Amino acid sequence: MSLLSFQRAFQAAILQPEEPDASELGFIAPPRRIDRAAAFGVYHTAYRLRLAEFIATDFSVLRRHLGDDRFGRLVEEYVLSKPSSHRNARWYASGLPEFMLSSQSWSADPRSCDLARFERALADAFDAADAAALDFEALHQIDVDLWPNVVFSFHPSLTLLDLEHGTVSLYESLRDQLEALGTADRAENDVVAVWRRECEVFHCVLGPDERLALNEAMLGKKFSDVCSLLSFKFNGEDVSHLIAGFLSAWVENGLITNISVEP
């Protein structure tokens, strides 16, 4: 058997959900001290333990939330259904939130699903591309007459998540190993901004007005359109002070990376 054929046969056996018996392992030379199945079982088990380790590392807070037994069951189901297809272990566990949402049993636990989504978003923000943030001087250089047509570009790491109310506070309590505080039931979800500035990842639960403005701005809407939308929400009231506050916070937090003026 060629080396390539051996590697393919070994990989195929490793990926089988159940450990193969000795009759399926004829391509392996008989070990001296133990039988083929027992020797191969070490590799079969180790492969799954390594995958489980990747998941536990990427979702340590979710693990605390679920407890070892439930988390172990989740990991086992995920490993069985999602053989690794990446050379980089960083990406193996990234599909866990989608797996949970598509699973009949796990999707019935939206808080855990959202906790997984949030934890994955924090990791994705850390790995996102770099981009230099603009400072306040860049805003001051824009002519007043051009502001209605200004369009903002945002940091590649910035993302908005629509999460069940209380997910972020639960995450913070579990991360810091504190007792989780109760949260009032609320029909409206939390919209959370996640981003990276230099080497540190930040998150913030947005108020309804800011999340509306930021979402529209991230969609590439002109500054005048964002203002008009907020003004409409407030029945035509002047919202310049509100917009100015949002814009100041976005710049201060390093969210804006470029400004352009559209026709």
182 within some domain? yes
Summarize the confidence of residues 63-78 as an average pLDDT. Answer: 94
Residue 181 and residue 142 share a domain:
yes
Q: Are residues 133 and 255 in the same domain?
A: yes
Q: What is the mean pLDDT of residues 52-77?
A: 93
- Is there a domain that residue 82 lies in? yes
pLDDT-derived band at 91 (thresholds 50, 70, 90) equals confident
Tell me what pLDDT residue 52 has.
Answer: 86
pLDDT of the residue at 87: 76
Same structural domain, 145 and 233: yes
Whether residue 29 has pLDDT greater than 80 = no
Residues of the chain with pLDDT > 90, as a percent, come to 63
What are 200's strand-pairing partners? Answer: 197
Q: Which of 78-92, 177-191, 193-207, 229-243 has the lowest mean pLDDT?
A: 177-191
Residue 237 has pLDDT above 80, yes or no: yes
pLDDT tens per residue across span 169-183: 999 999 988 765 555
**How far is 193 from 9, CA to CA, in rounded Å?**
46
Query: What's residue 18's pLDDT?
Result: 66
Bridge partners, residue 159, by sequence: 194
Residues 145 and 260: beta-carbon distance below 8 Å: no
Q: Is residue 118 part of a domain?
A: no
Question: Average pLDDT over the chain, rounded to whole?
Answer: 86
The total domain count for the chain is 2
93 and 210 share one domain = no
Sort 188 into a burial class: Cβ within 10 Å, 0-12 / 13-18 / 19+. Answer: exposed
Q: Are residues 172 and 254 in the same domain?
A: yes
Say what the pLDDT of residue 16 is: 64
Average pLDDT (207-233) is 95
Answer yes or no: do 261 and 143 share one domain. yes
Closest C-alpha to 259, from 158, 176, 153, 168: 153
Q: What confidence category does residue 3 fall into, taking pLDDT thresholds of 50, 70 and 90?
A: low
Asked if the structure places residue 119 within a domain, the reply is no
Mean pLDDT of 69-96: 87
Residue 219 has pLDDT above 80, yes or no: yes
137 in the same domain as 101? no
Would you place residue 254 in the very low, low, confident or very high pLDDT band (cuts 50, 70, 90)? very high
Q: Considering the domain boundaries, does residue 117 fall inside one?
A: no
pLDDT at 152 (0 to 100): 97
| Same domain flag for 184 and 217 | yes
Specify whether 71 is located in the same domain as 171: no
Tokens 């100041």 label which residue? 248
With CA atoms as reference, report the closest residue to 255 among 219, 223, 214.
214
Query: Region 29-40: what's the mean pLDDT?
Result: 64
pLDDT of residue 182: 56
User: Over the stretch 102-159, which tens digit does the pLDDT of each residue have?
Assistant: 999 999 999 999 999 999 999 999 999 999 999 999 999 999 999 999 999 999 999 9
Residue 18's domain comprises 1-108
Between the alpha carbon of residue 85 and those of residues 133, 144, 183, the distances in Å are 35, 52, 39
Average pLDDT over residues 219-225: 95
pTM, rounded to two decimals? 0.83
Confirm if 121 and 96 have CB atoms less than 8 A apart: no
Q: Give the alpha-carbon dihedral of 18, 21, 27, 29, to 10 degrees.
A: 120
Domain presence at residue 124:
no
138 and 248 fall within a common domain: yes
